[in-house]
Structure 1
Amino acid sequence: MAVQETVTGFAVAVVREDGRWRCGRLDDTTLTELDTAITELRKLRSTGAVFGLLAVDDEFFVIIRPSPGGAALFLSDAAAALDYDIAADVLDLLRAEAPDDDDDVVWPVGDLEILADVGMPEPELEVIVNEIELYPDEQLQMIAQRCGFADEYAAVLDEL
């Protein structure tokens, strides 16, 4: 696995409480350190849903949803673990293997129902992930739109 010197992208925390969505930016270290991302999301205590959306280097995205027993995780392409530490860490926590280097297919791994309770059923998430011509930020925008927090999400991205 190659260690990334500089990683571009963004990380957004999403909270749904009392029927309202709020989004906020997470520190850029969350793009490279899974433990940091989980810790930062756990600090956002809420009676409703809390999850993070990470778009990394226009290559893949990660959804992180803290839970009492750890964290539910979804990685849009397991092949990213060959080049990115955060993706490798996701696979480690999921006890999943990275695909062979010569695979040219997108291989999502993790909990496809991670956002089912907030409006993103498994089949729809699968369709979005398989839209390989889209960049991760575009895929996450589709997720935000479907779940109903597109405006709050876009406002955070506008500040970047």
Structure 2
Amino acid sequence: MTTPAGSTEGFAVAVVREDGAWQVSLLADELLDDLDGVISAVRQVSGAGAAFAMLAVDDEFFVIVRPVPGGASLLLSDATAALDYDIAADVLDLLQVPVPDDDDLDEDPWPEGDLAVLADFGIPEEQMQLVCSEDDLYPDEQLQTIAEAAGFETEFVAVVDPADRD
């Protein structure tokens, strides 16, 4: 892969819903290159409530990681990102999906993984598919759309303001 450790831009946040309240917190920048680290970090903050992570990577794609017993439920917004990003390739590896070929770059990007990863928070598979296919939006804006639909946009924006893009 082509991403040197620590060179990835973007953000990773942990989202926890406990006792009817949302909490959003930033995760370490190093986790943008470390899927196992993201899974571990979310498991540590989950407590008794449901928890997941949202990563926006280099204005290119997003990843949603939701630990489940025995592994993690994953969604990668653009499977072709696995050609250039280790974390995207790691998501496909855990999903047991082959990395696309260079020829696939000519096609429109497509998501891989569990489109229903947040269905229990009011984001059905069809809506997640629409968010993933919205190529006019940056990944942080796509994640803000998800946060709005699930009901934690205020908490999300307080931690990560998409208007602050460098």
Q: TM-score, normalised by structure 1?
A: 0.95
Where in structure 1 do 4 or more consecutive aligned residues deviate above 4 Å?
Answer: none
Q: What secondary structure does 1:155 align onto? A: helix
Flag structure 1 segments of 5+ consecutive residues without an equivalent. none
Alpha-carbon offset, residue 68 of structure 1: 1.6
2:24 is the counterpart of 1:61 = no
Query: Match of 2:45, SS?
Result: coil
Three-state SS of the structure 1 residue aligned to 2:75 is strand
Q: Is the 8 A contact 1:4 1:83 kept in 2?
A: no
> Which structure is higher in helix share?
2
Distance (Å, rounded) in 2 between the aligned partners of 1:123 and 1:87: 22
User: SS of 2:54's equivalent?
Assistant: strand
Task: Show the counterpart of 1:4.
Answer: 4
Distance 2:74 2:108 in 1: 20
Query: Where do 5+ consecutive residues of structure 2 fail to align?
Result: none
- Secondary structure at the aligned position of 1:41 is classed as helix
What is the aligned-residue RMSD (CA, Å)? 1.2
> Residue 102 of structure 1: SS of its match in structure 2?
helix
Identity of counterpart residues, as a percentage? 58
Deviations 1:103-158 (A, max 9, x none): 33111000011000011110000001001111100100000000000000000014
Distance, in Å, in 2 between the alignment partners of 1:92 and 1:148 is 31
Q: How many residues align?
A: 159
* Deviation of 1:47 (Å): 2.3
Q: Deviations over 1:74-126 (max 9, x none)?
A: 00011011000000100100000122223331110000110000111100000
